[in-house]
Amino acid sequence: MKRLRIALLTFVCVLCGTADSALILAQHGIVAVDWKAELAKAKVGIEKSPKSAFWHNQAGVAYDALGDFESAVKEIKLAIKLDPSDPINYYTLYAFYKRKGTHSEQRQVLLDALERDADNPLGRFEFAYILENEKHWADSLREYQVAKRLAASVRGPMYVDLRGNAYDLDVVQKEVDTAIDRVAKLNDSVQRPK
């Protein structure tokens, strides 16, 4: 249960942004977070286990919440190097890049995450959004449809990957049909002869 809480904390803070995290976490029965204390805890964990991807991930999330983007990215990249098979580290880095608006970095790291877990509905949804912004309508439509199918196969509101990382599917479940309709219309308008 503790690992699920930590995964939820990481997900909420990373993919939803730290500014909204206290409110979102409160909805899940968790209170506000003291990020300086979390960073201190992560540093102690790193001191005890310097090769722990988990503690480097936690330090990265804390640095991000405290507004230190460079340190956050450095810690998450180290977590990826220490455990390249864990998709949560890629999604964490993706979220940092997304909030910074660095398109090419977010696209590549999201592809890296999907390479490790192609069945993540949230990852597919986010990739569809990137393709939509790139005006690759047919590819975006396909990815939104895959995200919808994958989300429908999940029992409950959370997708849990093979490593035990939890991803809230609320945004996928609420927005995927609208996204499919929007991109289908765009795709049809491009395919019609003039």
The answer, yes or no, to whether residue 75 has pLDDT greater than 90, is yes
Separation of alpha carbons 194 and 120, rounded Å: 38
* pLDDT score, position 10: 55
Residue 152 tokens read as: 């429908």
Residues 127-171: pLDDT tens digits? 999 999 999 999 999 999 999 999 999 999 999 999 999 999 999
Q: Tokens 């997900």 appear where?
A: 11
If 0-12 CB within 10 Å is exposed, 13-18 middle and 19+ buried, where does residue 108 land?
Answer: middle
- Exposure string for 171-186, b = 16+ CB within 10 A, e = fewer: ebbeebeebbebbbeb
Owning domain of residue 187: 117-194
Q: Does the residue 126 lie in any domain? A: yes
Residues 89, 121, single domain; the answer is: no
Asked whether the beta carbons of 32 and 44 are under 8 A apart, the reply is: no
Residues 5, 87, single domain; the answer is: yes
How many domains, in total, are found in the chain? Answer: 2
pTM for the model: 0.82
CATH number of the domain within which 81 lies: 1.25.40.10
Residues 93, 187, single domain; the answer is: no
Residues 97, 187, single domain; the answer is: no
* pLDDT score, position 20: 44
The answer, yes or no, to whether residue 9 has pLDDT greater than 80, is no
The answer, yes or no, to whether residue 27 has pLDDT greater than 50, is no
